[in-house]
Amino acid sequence: MAGNSTHPGRSVTSKLSAILLALCDGGEHTLTEIVGATNLPTSTAHRLVLQMIAWRLIERSEDRSYRISFPVRMIASDYSAPEASYAHTVMRALPVLAELSAATRCPARIATLRGAEVCTLQPPPNLPTDRMHSEGFLHAAVPAHAAASGKALLAFSPAGVVDRLIAAGLSAHTRRTITSPEILRQNLAMIRVTQMATSQHEFECDESAIASPIFHGSGHVAAAIEISARDLDRELKPAATALWVACRSLSRQLATDLHLMRPTGSHITRPQRTTPPVRCD
């Protein structure tokens, strides 16, 4: 039995995920309601809730109820699939972002699609992996068609999402920005094969990036991880290898978590196998 749980085999991550799923309806819930929804002991639920407040994944309201934190709500405002809780994806991704940044010496961030923009969350530099509650997380909103993470998400989004973005117009931010619908669609088709997206001076003249999608257990895209680089031609191969490994690992973790955190009688269906990314060498 893991972690004093009434369900054998439940890991700490599965308990955290169960709490996030209990809060993912956007409302406020008391500790008693969280305990009832997650089937966790009250002491365990209270301890984990306090840790999640420190990590800024959830927050406490004035009447001492709990809800998803504002930074996570801001990023995930258009992401409503409860089985693919963006808050849980962020929780899993933050240590990976810190490790990626340290390994590549480049900023790493997690991103999700919100309308025609991609919204990103980036940990501060040199953040220890055991201090995910530190202040200083950076938020940004970038036109999806000009960002590597945006293109990685668009490539695996429903066709209507891409159609609406193109119909609204592809604005130019630099002379390298893709503004042709045909070229963008060709780019997205290639990304679906390689599961690697790049942006070379398309939003800012002095910055490039590479990104790869993360999938949750039912095979749909959950988010993307993006790494910035000044010289993408020189840094592409090592960055792509590290990113590919990280995103593949995260996709597997999300699929496993969704299965383990499912209580008996849950409506969540068994995750399907995620198609592994095609390695970009």
CB atoms within 10 A of CB 194: 16
Q: If you average pLDDT over every residue of the chain, what do you get? A: 78
Confidence of residue 189 (pLDDT cuts 50, 70, 90): very high
CB atoms within 10 A of CB 31: 14
By CB neighbour count within 10 A (0-12 exposed, 13-18 middle, 19+ buried), where does 182 fall?
Answer: exposed
What CATH number has the domain spanning 12-68? 1.10.10.10
Euclidean distance between CA atoms 5 and 9, whole angstroms: 8
Helices (H), the chain: 12-23, 31-38, 42-54, 70-75, 86-104, 148-155, 159-168, 181-194, 232-260
Euclidean distance between CA atoms 86 and 89, whole angstroms: 5
Tokens standing for residue 43:
């002491």
One of 2.60.110.10, 1.10.287.130, 3.40.50.620, 3.30.450.40 is the CATH number of 75-260, namely 3.30.450.40
Confidence of residue 70 (pLDDT cuts 50, 70, 90): low
CB atoms within 10 A of CB 68: 22
Identify any residues that bridge with 119 across adjacent strands, giving them in sequence order: 112, 141
Q: What is the pLDDT of residue 243?
A: 92
Res. 1: pLDDT tops 80: no
Q: Where are the domains of the chain?
A: 12-68, 75-260
Domain 12-68 and domain 75-260, same fold? Reply is: no
Confidence of residue 24 (pLDDT cuts 50, 70, 90): confident
Is the overall model pTM greater than 0.75, yes or no? Answer: no
The Cα angle at residue 185 between residues 181 and 190, in degrees rounded to 5? 150
Confidence of residue 263 (pLDDT cuts 50, 70, 90): very low
Euclidean distance between CA atoms 53 and 49, whole angstroms: 6
Q: What is the pLDDT of residue 17?
A: 78
Res. 81: pLDDT tops 50: no
CA 88, 92, 98, 102 dihedral sign is negative
Distances (CA, A) of 163 to 169, 179, 223: 10, 14, 20
Phi and psi (nearest 5°) for 168?
A: -75, -15
Q: How far apart are the first and last CA of the chain?
A: 42
pLDDT tens digits along 106-148: 889 999 888 899 988 887 765 544 444 444 567 788 999 999 9
User: What is the dihedral angle through the alpha carbons of 13, 242, 219, 259, rounded to the nearest 10 degrees?
Assistant: -20
More confident residue, 204 or 12: 204
Residue among 136, 111, 93 nearest 203 (CA)? 111
Euclidean distance between CA atoms 220 and 80, whole angstroms: 13
User: Crossing angle for the helix pair 181-194 and 148-155, nearest 10 degrees?
Assistant: 80
